[in-house]
Amino acid sequence: MQAFPIQIKPDEAAKELAEMNKKVVRGLQTLSSLTNDDVQVGTAPKTAVFQLDKMVLYRHTPVVDEKDLFPIPVLISYALVNRPSVADLQENRSLIRNLLKLGIDVYLIDWGYPTRADRWLTMGDYVNSYIDGCVDYMCDAHGLDQINLLGICQGGTMSLCYTSLHPEKIKNLIVMVTPVDFHARTNEEVVPPMLNTWGAGLDADLMIDAMGNVPGDVMNFGFLMLQPFNLNIQKYTDMVDIMEDQDKLLNFLRMEEWIFDSPDQAGEMFRQFIKDFFQQNKLIKGEVELDGQRVNLQNIKQPVLNIYAEKDHLVPPPCSQALRHYVGAEDYTEKEFPVGHIGMYVSGKAQRDLAPTIADWIRAHAE
């Protein structure tokens, strides 16, 4: 008769349980010593310079001398489903701070928190009013005809649409972890196309007709269910092992602060994004229409830098890499980082290499 594969000795189990209890008690002492101020995110100094409805444009305070500041500013357009503070999670994990140190003049769009009054906002409003308003402000403030645009995730998709419709206003385009081909075939053993599958089966009409806007909590639940064990159980059991280390605990809590700070989604914008992009894949077909204008990626002739994450479970690499086949740019560059979707902002390698990659590319395309 074979022995049961898991052998548990009572004395060892008791010892392990006692150690676990001590670890939890010490961790709770560390946790109780922290305040809300300790867990703040997005703290790099910035000034609100332009506002349209709930959208606010911030200029981050430069940290280099004026003579060393790159003359063409960068506008960061982040996704709508989370807050842009992930690009400035904490002082030593901040894409924005790293760009500032390299002399890049950084502006950031804060989309705000939609309310019921914003239910009817369309993607055209976000692209042709909000992004366009920010670009016009920056051009006027700096005496320029063009600026550099950096779009992240869904914000990258909107940046592609904007650049296609307003190519004369964008000098260089950078997109990060950006979905382009929403039906791209992926190596499912490496990165299954979870978000694409989730979006494909969603009844957006029923959701919007019933709720108006999509609550942020509903969006969060959907994202958590993409990896239910890891995101709902495993990471909290692993938390016990870091609770005694205040720095590691703060890293964890700041990420939690960002993850669960999810704005509601404006109804009509959400409806169009799900149906036109996730379900019908209209972007690569040249069939997306915003305010009566057709989005054609071939209109994007300016230099493009496409940055994607090798282990991205939300936007698998083929979904981003497809851009090379559709843009009209002759100067097109791809850069892969061996991280996941969120690791692009917070991993050690990304902190070391991401900002220099962007800054060097921008400077090389100054003319």
Residues annotated catalytic, as ranges: 153
Tokens of 151: 């779009």
The answer to whether 363 and 70 have CB atoms below 8 angstroms apart is: yes
Which residues, in sequence order, are bridge partners of residue 152? 176
Q: Hey, what amino acid is at 301?
A: K
Any idea how long the chain is?
367
Alpha carbons 43 and 257: distance in angstroms, whole number: 13
Q: If residue 353 lies in a helix (H) or strand (E), which one and from where to where? A: helix 348-364
Tell me the Cα Rg of the chain. 22
List, in sequence order, the alpha helices (H) in 6-78. 10-32
Residues whose CB falls within 8 Å of the CB of residue 148, separated by 6 or more in sequence, listed in order: 72, 73, 74, 75, 170, 171, 172, 173, 174, 362
Distance spanning both ends of the chain, measured CA to CA: 78
Residues whose CB falls within 8 Å of the CB of residue 261, separated by 6 or more in sequence, listed in order: 82, 83, 85
Q: Tokens 């994007």 — which residue?
A: 300
